[in-house]
Structure 1
Amino acid sequence: MDPRTSAQDVIRCDLCETAVVQMHCDTCLVNLCKACVGEHISTGETKDHKVVKFQERKSTPLYPICKTHNKEECEMFCKQCDIPVCISCVALNRHFGHELSKVLQVLDEKKNKIIEERNESNETIYPTYQDIASDVQNRMSQLKKEHKDLSSAITKHGEDWHREIDKLVQKLKAEVDEMKNTQLQTLQKHLDEINKTMSDIKEEINSVETTTDTNDLSKLFSVTSNVHMYRNLPNKIMPSLPKFIPGKIQGDLEELSKLFGALSSSSLSSDEHGYSMKTTQKSPEAGSSPPVKQLLDEPETVTTIDTGCKNSRNVACLSDEEIWTSGLNSTMILYSINQGDIKSIKTKSKKTPSDIAVTKSGDLVYTDYDDRTVNIVKNEKIEEVTRLQNWKPEGVCSTSSGDLLVIMDSDDDKQTKVVCYSGSIEKQTIQFDNKGRSLYLSSSLYPRYITENRNLDICVSDDRAGAVVVLNQAGKLRFEYTGHIPAAKNEPFSPKGITTDSQCHILTSDNNNDCVHIIDQDGQFLHYIKCGLRYPWGLCTDTNDNLFVAQSVNAQVKRIKYLQ
């Protein structure tokens, strides 16, 4: 390989293109070897070459040339005129009485201001515009959804009208059939009477013909005729047909729309105070860096809490001394470590909650897989946040911004996604990576849980995939953690509950191996927590970084100290 063309070659002299660079001309911005310095200086005699060691390149200030005295460098700066000036300009009193400063000082101030503004653009302004762009995209998505709902409402109203019109048509057609049947029955009865009379007449005609052929006078005298009766012809029955008198559609389409329903006007408003500049403080918790805490070599169980919640699966901290728990029934129990049970709440559907969480304001949130709902408990009253269509919710967490993150499965059990809710409004949906592949493996048999890290990463435990999937705030995949070898019991990694702490550690329970894995925010394994755990499931941490672990084999929750 030719070292001069190698991608990892050292920098070569710009003149000979062979020797290694040792010097640099700050005037011409040319790299030189020592042998070529003399040749370079001898060229361009009008220039004052500033040759320095290569490591000190760009250390020589290049003063601007005076526009009035084009051979002199400007070493001063006139603040009134806002221009660099040379010594000749100063000597000629062109800037008499003006405030003059050294140009290097002004340039340092200018450079510091540029750097400060660059930092502001990078750390504040650009992220703000990112948030604004995300907000506009979310509004566009919401607008599309709402317009789709509006079109569906119009279609449904039209279908309602069609149904009512169809009912009216069927009613009128039934009346026509009833009239037809009544008139046909009357005419049939009339026809039967006429046929009877015709039969009587025919019989009488035959009888008379027989009698007239005899010479028996007594028989002739016995013949009686009813011709006088038949001369009175029956009444002629003329059915009158009903007429359909259609109701008139008054006016044109505009008049008809008043009956059917019309749209109100839409508008777009602009609020100059609608957005505020993003601060470098990403979240309330991130305002000040927490003290660094080291992992204990041997984590220890501080408290074992018998909550009375059979087959404990979920746990959420309301405070350092109060926890919500839930298991395989419809009851969610608030338990005080010092006082015991405080209260219990049953799900609205009387079904088992999939997951529970506590909001920043202290309200309990739970997901109901069978009922397809996300619910919040305020003042012991259950309010429905959202009811899903074609999806069933699993894990839920409350974010630092007050939103809710929910992971859910499709009805056909073929898709899984994460949705961020602000109230009942969908702000963000995360389902695929940048290559269009699903981020999660779908299965209703393997529960999934979700949490937000202190650095705003979104962390999901995907038991079917045997992985913890971590995304950044924008929903881009950062890494997947698939366990650590050797495992505690050498069983396949089975992540269930997931939580984080003040150090941005990610903790996930490993149900198969009776332990909790601790990994850092970049996915590196740090430590196991064992502490005699049996089938650990739900996890949460309090403000002191104590870990609460719900054990699905019993009603116990363990409080564990694992940080110094």
Structure 2
Amino acid sequence: MAANVSQAQTALSESGQFSKCTCQSCNAELTYQNSCCKKWFCRTCNKYGRVQDHPNHDLCYSETESDFLHNKIYAENTELKKNVKPFYKRALEYISKEQSDIPQCFKTAKEHIDICEHLLHKQVAFAARYFKNVLEEKERQQMTHISNLRKIFEKRLDELEETLQENCKLLNVQDLTKLCKFQSSVDRWRTNTDLTGFEKPIFKPNLMVHENSPHFLGNIIYEEPQNCSNQLNIPTINLENIQNRFLRQANVVDVLQRRPPEHGLCDVTCVESQRILTSGQDKRLHLLDLSIQDGDSILQTYKVSCESPHIAMSESRAVFYSDKRDKTIKQIESLDSNRINTVLHFDNLEPRGLAFSPANHLLVCLVGARRSIIARYDARLKLVREIEYKDIDGTCTKLFREPTFVCSNEFSDVCVADHALREVIVVNFSGVFQFSYRGQDEKSFRPHCLVTDNLSNIVVSDNVNQEVHVLDKYGQFVTLLTTGQKIERPGPMSINDEGKLWIGESVSGKIKVLKYLD
């Protein structure tokens, strides 16, 4: 089994395709849960298992850490290859072009000065020599600046290649001690040397008598190329890449109905590519199955202790839900069990939205009269961090007022929909504020739920304006998702392992499955 799995892992890492293997416990086919996770998943056993000893279903904490670090390295390499490396290549092309164009511009400016000198004869000879000297000195400075910039970007590109090679080597390392020494450098590569200083001289003659010689002849002005900074940066390249992946119109590939529809939809979470768990106002969680073509699509129902709970599923496929009534987080041990345990209790804070990060950390939205926070708990449900404040120019202010839905992308950034502030707020893994989004029309925007896809885009539903917004990981607006069928009151959402968006209609209880990426 271990040998087969090792070969499958090698095939996956080299080809980027999903590999297959067989569960020794039940002979069912094992598959990877996602393209960058090294865990095997047995759909029959309904659990994760260790690659070396799958039948025991005993995934230890150190293996979880190894998987998370592999996942993080894989995500960093993807970012470096798709966005950072193309930026450096494009920057070098731009520098080369300017290195060729600027001498010609200086030559042209000198020629204009020669023409002016000829027209004014001896009267302007002194002024002409003065401006030539100024241009020659400026040209030397410009070319020195360009040459230095070129060396910087060539050196950083070489260092980037070394980082990629080192990260690729780490992807094949299973030793947790070595993996824990990994330090992410992606923020370093995102910090770029400004591409400024490409000033092209234009000589403007002034034949009027000027009281301050030699400026009666004219002035030299330097113009920067237009839109250089806007076009040459990593977020712009990322936006170009992902826009090419979007379909012109999202396709509704399936529709499910949560019954009874009058109980509406509070939250949803994908279980598999064909199954989704839903919650409503009826103190029930319903497991729906797309493969059931005839009759009711409800595969199983779970009784819970409150109405409209927010739900999330861990890597071990345990279901967690928030109980606002008694301010607790409860756990249904597995999809095969109705046994419910209270795992977290809050005195003065009401739990709302739940989500799991790539590190299998539980993120909890907590709302209170005096403070509202996002709490992060590790795989053992020990508190790791409380996210509450942002620091802007040395001033500490509160991030949230009513955080209601939360999700996390492949870089473990935390994305929050705050219903009171009417904005989407994003912080990094350490809780440092990154950006916020208040819609295309700030006055009418009402973010309801949000999820992230496999490109780290943020998909946001607005159930008041009946829109679905898409942002990239830098907070740039990408598009509004449109479909042939109108989505009434878009509310809770989830994305399955095939990248399809499951979006619920809050009032009707319908769940529509959308394909929006090519």
TM-score of the two chains, using structure 2 as the length reference: 0.53
Structure 2 Cα separation of the partners of residues 58 and 360 of structure 1: 47
Query: 8 Å contact 1:22–1:54 — kept in the other structure?
Result: no
Is the 8 Å Cα contact of residues 449 and 497 (structure 1) preserved in structure 2?
Answer: yes
**TM-aligned CA distance change 1:21 to 1:399, over 3 Å:** same
Whole-angstrom distance in 2 between the partners of 1:499 and 1:515? 14
2:180 is the alignment partner of 1:276: yes
Q: Check whether the contact 1:499–1:506 (CA below 8 A) recurs between aligned residues.
A: yes
CA–CA separation in structure 2 for the residues paired with 1:58 and 1:418: 42
Query: Which residue does the alignment assign to 1:392?
Result: 350
Q: Per the alignment, in what secondary structure is the counterpart of residue 475 of structure 1?
A: coil
Tell me by how many angstroms 1:477 deviates.
Answer: 1.2
Q: CA RMSD in A?
A: 3.9
CA-to-aligned-CA distance 1:371-405 (integer Å, 9 cap, x gap): 21112221322222211122111111011101101
Q: Compared with structure 1, are the counterparts of its residues 421 and 55 closer, same or farther at alpha carbon in structure 2 (3 Å cutoff)?
A: closer
Q: Structure 1 vs Structure 2: percent identity of aligned residues? A: 22
CA distance in 2, matches of 1:352, 1:383: 17
* Alignment of structure 1 residues 92-241 onto 2, 5 Å: none
State which of 359, 365, 368 in structure 1 corresponds to 2:323.
368
Question: Partner of 1:383 in structure 2?
Answer: 341
Shift of 1:320: 0.6
1:545 maps onto 2:499 in alignment? yes
Q: 1: CA distance between counterparts of 2:435 and 2:374? A: 16
2:488 aligned with 1:534: yes
Is this contact kept in 1: 2:266–2:308, CA < 8 A? no
User: How far 1:53 sits from its partner (Å)?
Assistant: 7.5
Q: Distance in 2 between matches of 1:462 and 1:54?
A: 47
Cα gap change, 1:281/1:534 in structure 2, threshold over 3 Å: closer, same or farther? farther
- The match for 2:288 among 321, 331, 335 is 335
Distance 1:468 1:22, change over 3 A: closer
1:313 to 248, 266, 273: 266
| CA contact 2:312–2:355 (8 Å) conserved in 1 | yes
CA distance in 2, matches of 1:366, 1:400: 19
Q: Tell me how far apart the structure 1 counterparts of residues 286 and 149 of structure 2 sit (CA, whole Å).
A: 69
The higher radius of gyration belongs to: 1
Instruction: Give the whole-Å Cα distance in 1 for the aligned partners of 2:377 and 2:252.
Output: 36
The farther-off stretch of 370-379 and 427-436 is 370-379
Distance of aligned partners of 1:280 and 1:346 in 2 relative to their CA distance in 1, 3 Å threshold:
same
1:299 and 2:203 equivalent?
no
Higher relative contact order structure (alpha carbons within 8 Å, sequence separation ≥ 6)? 2
In 2, the alpha carbon distance for the partners of 1:546 and 1:501 equals 9
Give the count of matched residue pairs: 309
1:441 aligns with 2:401: yes
Q: Give, in angstroms, the shift of residue 314 of structure 1.
A: 0.8
* 2:137 aligned residue: 20
Q: Normalised by the size of structure 1, how large is the TM-score? A: 0.49
1:367–1:117 Cα change, 3 Å: same
Contact 1:470 1:477 in 2 (8 A): yes
What is the aligned counterpart of 2:476 among 524, 529, 532?
Answer: 524
Counterpart-to-counterpart distance in 2, 1:471 and 1:456: 9
Q: Distance in 2 between matches of 1:398 and 1:392?
A: 18
CA offset digits 1:57-82 (Å, max 9, x no partner): 7999xxxxxxxxxxxxxxxxxxxxxx
- Residue from 454, 477, 480 that aligns with 2:433: 477
Residues 58, 527 of structure 1: alpha-carbon distance in 2 compared, 3 angstrom cutoff: closer
- Cα distance in 1 for residues equivalent to 2:270 and 2:185: 25
CA gap 1:297/1:427 in 2 versus in 1, 3 angstroms: same
CA contact (8 A) 2:358 2:409 kept: no
Contact 1:372 1:392 in 2 (8 A): yes
Q: Which amino acid aligns with 1:378?
A: E
Pairing partner for 2:461 from 509, 513, 516: 509
Q: Distance in 1 between matches of 2:445 and 2:149?
A: 55
Tell me the SS of whatever aligns to 1:437.
Answer: strand
Q: Is the 8 A contact 2:457 2:471 kept in 1?
A: yes
- CA distance in 2 between counterparts of 1:341 and 1:458 reads 32
SS of the aligned residue for 2:316 comes to coil
Structure 2 unaligned segments of length 5 or more: list them: 1-105, 107-132, 169-175, 187-237
- Counterpart of 1:515 in structure 2: which amino acid? E
**How many Å separate the matches in 2 of 1:53 and 1:467?**
46
CA contact (8 A) 1:514 1:530 kept: no
CA contact (8 A) 2:249 2:482 kept: no
The one-letter amino acid paired with 1:535 is: R
1:354–1:393 Cα contact (<8 Å) kept: no
Relative distance call for 1:281 and 1:499 in structure 2 (3 A) is: farther
CA distance in 2 between partners of 1:403 and 1:366 (Å): 15
Does the 8 Å contact 1:317/1:324 carry over to 2? yes
* CA spacing shift, 1:464–1:53, aligned 2, 3 Å: closer
Task: Flag the 1:553–1:274 CA change in 2: closer, same or farther, 3 A.
Answer: same
Partner in structure 2 of residue 468 of structure 1: 424
Question: Any conservation in 2 of the 1:353–1:366 contact (CA below 8 Å)?
Answer: no
How many Å separate the matches in 1 of 2:150 and 2:494? 55
Is 1:404 the equivalent of 2:362?
A: yes
- Alpha-carbon distance between aligned partners in 2 of 1:505 and 1:417, rounded to the nearest angstrom: 23
> Once the two structures are superposed, what CA deviation does each residue of 1:89-109 show, in whole Å capped at 9, x if it has no partner?
xxxxxxxxxxxxxxxxxxxxx
The answer to whether the Cα contact below 8 Å between 1:360 and 1:400 also exists between their aligned partners in 2 is no
1:511 and 1:53 mapped to 2: Cα distance?
56
The letter of the residue matching 2:404 is: R
Structure 1 residue ranges without an equivalent (≥5): 1-9, 11-15, 24-30, 34-51, 61-110, 125-271, 283-288
